[in-house]
Amino acid sequence: MQINGNAVEAHSGEFFDIINPATCELIDRVPKGTEDDVEVAVEAASSAFKGWASASPQQRARILYIAAGIVRQRKDELAVLLTREQGKPLAESKNEIEGFAHVLEYYCGLASSSHGDFVPIPQNGYAFTVKKPLGVCAAIIPWNMPALIMAWKIGPALISGNTLVLKPASNTPLTNLTLASILSEAGLPPGVLNIVTGPGNIVGESLVKSPKVKKISFTGEARTGKRVAELAACGMKRVTLELGGSDPMLVCDDADLEAAVLGALRGRFYNCGQTCTAVKRLFVFETVAEKFIKKLEAGIRNLRVGNGMHENIDMGPLNNRRQWEYIKKLVEDVEEKDEGRIVTGGRVPENGVCSKGFFFEPTLVTDVPRESRLLKEEVFGPVLPVVQVKDLDEAIEEANNTCYGLGASLWTKNLDKAHKGCEQLNAGIIWLNQHLKIAPEVPFGGTGQSGIGRENGPDSLSEYLDLKTVMLKT
């Protein structure tokens, strides 16, 4: 457990292992937190709240800005740590660490922007509104983008004057712990940011249930999100849920096919396919399908799979054994149940460095039947199912045939098609001729089983502020 950068031993006295997914070697051990540890962290956050809430927005921003600067200076070292615990190639880790700094800097810029309003009331004088921080907030985050998602939570929460207790994913707490120490080094007062490591069902649940926690921001699987929402409802707490997705990519007959292939390669295989907004289903017009699939196959065969610490690696391992077993079984089932044709990939690589970790070949599956699990479940790994459609109406109908609604991309040069896709695709974010790009400047979140609420963008501060109305009769 860490109270504002200072390590504190967990009450249980127990530790759990952090494994490098590329080698299966032990890299570190962290305390296995308990309910008592959560209470200590919540108390620390509660004691720090008054002082932090009364600091000026500029004072708060100054500290976050200094922290972002230190993170940039230590980017290379932090990226190595992230790759070792998460598995992604070093270039992706550097990108994510820069993303962390960029998000903090963005929120520093918003520091003074969220204030109340003046409202004239006809025949009754006027009213004004005041925005107040909520108090102690909780953040629960996953292992796929631990640094970036940490920034999405701490940026708006802390800049608005709240204090926070963060629970990292059990597989990737090391980068989060180091980033918290950096915030402390930058001048964050004791108790403002606290981290409790440990199992989700103990640390996560007691955090959600803790009476002093006013708001929970959760990112993870839809199933866990539902449990969090249930517990939060019992305490009448605010909750933001950023859950899974099964993002479609729609490739029209007039699309720039070279660009679409590059978009699909990055969209599906970045972070070994473990991105909430990865391309998880690809719909291509049948008139260009053969040409497109050939180019895509060639691109996939060129991807270099290996330990993310090595040079020139395009794709690392899956993050953990559970995910690896899931992907292996899914692809075995495709073969056994005749649920598509595996064009390339589909195996665990057996040679060299890849024989030790949770590696899986980047895989392309065509001729996928509409009821296949590949199209129904959130496939969090390097497997891309491709479905042929006759036109845009069919593509949109198939794309919307999911319980999720996080992102969707449409690839076309035709303005009418682009307009129709933007109007009719059910998703929180629509990309035109790109996929995956996420920026803190714009709202991010999904519809349906992809969650409730939005992160990022100027409105995200409202998620961490209470509104009070004062009415004055003149």
What are the residues whose beta carbons fall under 8 Å from the beta carbon of 329, sequence distance 6 or more?
Answer: none
- 217 part of the interface to ligand NAD, by CB under 6 A: no
What are the residues whose beta carbons fall under 8 Å from the beta carbon of 237, sequence distance 6 or more?
Answer: 208, 213, 214, 215, 216
Q: How far is the CB of 380 from ligand NAD (least distance, A)?
A: 6
Candidate residues 59, 73, 201, 447; the one interacting with ligand NAD per rule CB under 6 A: 201
**Residue 196 backbone phi and psi in degrees, to 5:** -120, 120
- 205 part of the interface to ligand NAD, by CB under 6 A: yes
Residue 304's CB is within 10 A of a number of other CB atoms, namely 12
Here's the x/- map for ligand NAD, 364-393, by CB under 6 A: it reads as: --------------x-x-------------
Q: For the purposes of burial, counting CB atoms within 10 Å of the CB of 466, is it exposed (0-12), middle (13-18) or buried (19 or more)?
A: middle
- Beta-bridge partners for 451: 242
**3-class DSSP state for residue 342?**
strand
The count of chain residues that interact with ligand NAD, using the rule CB under 6 A, is: 30
Q: Catalytic one among 137, 252, 276, 354?
A: 276
Look up 276 and say whether it is catalytic: yes
**Residue 363 backbone phi and psi in degrees, to 5:** -125, 135
- 204 part of the interface to ligand NAD, by CB under 6 A: yes
Of residues 361 and 455, the one with the C-beta less far from ligand NAD: 455
Q: Which position has the token pair 């519809």? A: 447
- Residues 262 to 291: which contact ligand NAD by CB under 6 A? 276
Q: Catalytic one among 85, 92, 205, 242?
A: 242
* Among 401, 120, 82, 114, residue whose Cα is nearest residue 271: 82
Look up 242 and say whether it is catalytic: yes
Q: How far is the CB of 229 from ligand NAD (least distance, A)?
A: 10
Residue 379's CB is within 10 A of a number of other CB atoms, namely 24
Of residues 442 and 471, the one with the C-beta less far from ligand NAD: 442
- Beta-bridge partners for 241: 218, 452
Token representation of residue 215: 């708001």
- Residues 68 to 97: which contact ligand NAD by CB under 6 A? none
* Dihedral of the alpha carbons of 227, 231, 233, 234, in degrees to the nearest 10: 150
> Residue 269's Cα: distance from chain center in Å?
16
Of residues 145 and 264, the one with the C-beta less far from ligand NAD: 145
Candidate residues 85, 242, 339, 361; the one interacting with ligand NAD per rule CB under 6 A: 242
- 145 part of the interface to ligand NAD, by CB under 6 A: yes
Of residues 119 and 403, the one with the C-beta less far from ligand NAD: 403
Beta-strand runs (E) in 178-295: 193-195, 213-219, 238-242, 248-251, 281-285
Of residues 219 and 409, the one with the C-beta less far from ligand NAD: 219
- 140 part of the interface to ligand NAD, by CB under 6 A: yes
- 456 part of the interface to ligand NAD, by CB under 6 A: no
Of residues 169 and 425, the one with the C-beta less far from ligand NAD: 169
Residues that bind ligand NAD (CB under 6 A): 140-145, 149, 167, 169-170, 200-201, 204-205, 208, 219-221, 224, 227-228, 242-245, 276, 378, 380, 406, 451
* Residues annotated as part of the active site: 242, 276
